[in-house]
Amino acid sequence: MKNIRAFLILASLIVAFSSCTKTITPPLNNTPQLVIEGAVSDTTGPYHVNISKTADFYSDNVYPTVSGATVVITDVTANITDVLTEASVGDYITHAITGTPGHAYQLKVMLDGKTYTAMSTMPKPVPLDSVTVDYSVNNNFRPVANYQDPADQKNYYKYSMKRNGVHVHHFQTFDDRLSGGRYIRDKLDCDTGTFHHGDMVKADLVGLDAGAFNFLKEAEAVAYDNANLAVPATPTSNITGGCIGYFSAQTVSSKTTVIKSF
């Protein structure tokens, strides 16, 4: 979640300056804001909720973690409540709940006399058939996600990747508004030169509900398309109470491949 936290800081603090002919250090609103990021998935738990605060834009990307919150996740469908424990400073983990497609989950965070809540429903899982590689551009290998989009439901996705076990700091959103029920072969975004011959690539197809997807889609625009935005805006959180971040009940399907040498 580090790359998500980075653009949350960017979105909440940056004031856009254009057509400048000299370096400007603009005064920014540096009032710390609470950041909550959490997810329940259909993979094996425990599941995590991370709580931190935004940092000064000119600091060294150190985001203060927040201790002492009361964090509860409830499987509303199964009527199971799980009080999370703080495994490390700012990292709260579950004990009792299991991620189940079709179930609705409520997050509640209580901190400093304030309450923050969110609801998310886990969609039906969509399996990733395979991850292949587009070799059409020399030395710019792009993984390709291959899967069948179901025709009987609206689907929202996030792609993420690992290179040799390390997260690639780029994610990508996609929905089936124009491709419902089709077989999808989607080239995954990454920086030129991210992958090399012999690298192992792991791709994740993450199924989301609308609230989490909308946050991530807006966040993606802020993080990667910022040059096209007149004034970067904070992505719309699906957590009420006045914080930055999102809560997601999601499915995860993963496949791996190796970049071939010729």
pLDDT in tens, 24-42: 344 445 678 999 999 999 9
> 3-class DSSP state for residue 191?
coil
CA 186 to chain centre: 18
DSSP code of 137? S
Region 162-185 average pLDDT: 93
Residue with tokens 């809540």: 117
Average pLDDT over residues 94-107: 97
pLDDT exceeds cutoff 50 at 9: no
Instruction: Show the tokens assigned to 245.
Output: 């971040």
Mean pLDDT of all residues in 129-137 = 91
Question: 246: which 2 tokens?
Answer: 């999102």
* pTM (2 d.p.): 0.84
For 93, 103, 222, the CA distances from 248, given in Å and listed in that order, are 15, 12, 19
Residue pair 251/126 in contact (Cβ under 8 Å)? The answer is yes
**What per-residue confidence (pLDDT) applies to 262?**
57
CA dihedral sign of residues 161, 195, 173, 212: positive
**What would the two tokens of residue 241 be?**
């109470």
pLDDT value, residue 63: 76
* Residue 169 pLDDT: 82
- Tell me the CA distances in angstroms from 128 to 47, 184, 251, one per residue in order: 22, 10, 11
For 168, which DSSP code? Answer: -
Report the pLDDT value the prediction gives residue 25, as an integer from 0 to 100: 41
* Eight-state DSSP code of residue 89: T
DSSP 123: P
